[in-house]
Amino acid sequence: MSTSKPLVRAEKVDKWFGRHQVLKGVSLTVEKGEVVSIIGPSGSGKSTFLRCVNQLETYQEGRLYVGDQLIGYEEQNGRLVALNNRQIVAQRRHIGMVFQQFNLFWHMTVLENIVEAPIMVLGQSREQATAKAMELLARVGLAEKAHAYPMKLSGGQQQRAAIARALAMNPELMLFDEPTSALDPETTGEVLAVIGELAKTGMTMIIVTHEMGFARQVSDRIVLMEDGMIQHEGPPEAFFGEGQSPRLKAFLSTIH
């Protein structure tokens, strides 16, 4: 039996936007080094779940842990008390997130984008941050674009730069929210290849994606989310093999 604790542990997480409940008792654990893909129809709460993990949104009920940290709250006598901004920033520091829309800073070169947070947040020297950034750019195949501005890059290159930027913070967890949905088919492959390589390094990752072939290839486990609930989870073989649940079949038929 494994004695190590899961890196991510969501226990009956509930999230409302006003009166609209978008996460309904979501429970999910992700082990260290595990790659979990979340699939499911649009509007089912996939992004909201990732955003709760990274505290871009707050959940209202349940418990969400990354490592031994309770995300967003302190527990006092069984009640949840919200953390302050400084505590939230400290928790978020260990989590990298890559969005559909890249979110690079337009007025900075690729290199400047990458060294910004390591210098400002981690207190690294410019030399140290630059050396690490160049190593990461080489890893995502963008070394020669270090001094280019994002506008001059293709979508795929921008997304690879965004991945390098997230990795520069030495995250223990990487979250990907439909990282290739804004890309054309030619550049989708190069971004998926970078994410696939990262998966092999033992990085713990949660990936929201509609790329079923990719999910099947890189994931240790796949989770189907529908209407704010996890409807199904299992290893890819079980997911895509014989004996699929009717729900899963119905969803897969909408994207194939």
* Site residues (vs Mg ion, CB under 5 A): 47
By beta-carbon proximity to Mg ion, the closer residue of 194 and 208 is 208
Q: How far is CA 108 from the centre of its chain?
A: 24
In this complex, which beta carbon is closest to ligand ADP, that of residue 146 or of residue 224? 224
DSSP calls for 167-228 = HTT--SEEEEESTTTTS-HHHHHHHHHHHHHHHHTT-EEEEE-S-HHHHHHH-SEEEEEETT
User: Nearest distance from residue 27's CB to ligand ADP, in Å?
Assistant: 17
Between 30 and 161, CB nearer to ligand ADP: 30
Out of Mg ion, ligand ADP, none, which partner does residue 118 contact, by CB within 5 to 8 A per kind?
none
Distance in Å, CB of 71 to ligand ADP, minimum: 17
Identify the bridge partners of residue 122 per DSSP, sorted by sequence position: none
User: In this complex, which beta carbon is closest to ligand ADP, that of residue 18 or of residue 123?
Assistant: 18
Phi first, then psi, for residue 29 (nearest 5°) are -120, 145
For ligand ADP, give the closer residue by CB, 51 or 132: 51
Residues 5-64 that bind ligand ADP (CB under 6 A): 17, 22, 40, 42-48
Q: Residue 83 and residue 116: Cα distance in Å, rounded?
A: 25
- Residue 45 or 118: which CB sits closer to ligand ADP? 45
101 binds ligand ADP (CB under 6 A): no
- Residue 235 Cβ, how far from Mg ion at the closest point, in Å? 24
Min CB(88)–ligand ADP separation in Å: 18
Cα separation of 23 and 2, whole Å? 29
Min CB(231)–ligand ADP separation in Å: 13
Of 236, 228, 232, 205, nearest to 36 (Cα)?
205
CB atoms within 10 A of CB 75: 10
Q: Put the strands of the sheet holding 229-234 in their side by side order.
A: 95-98, 173-177, 204-208, 35-39, 221-226, 229-234
Total site size for ligand ADP, rule CB under 6 A: 10
Q: How far is the CB of 170 from ligand ADP (least distance, A)?
A: 27
What burial class does residue 151 get, using C-beta atoms within 10 Å of its C-beta: 0-12 exposed, 13-18 middle, 19+ buried?
Answer: exposed
Q: Closer to ligand ADP at the Cβ: 47 or 157?
A: 47
Angstrom distance (rounded) from CA 87 to CA 124: 20
With CB cut-offs between 5 and 8 Å by kind, which of ligand ADP, Mg ion, none does residue 43 bind? ligand ADP
In sequence order, what are the beta bridge partners of 132? none
What is the contact surface with ligand ADP in residues (CB under 6 A)? 17, 22, 40, 42-48
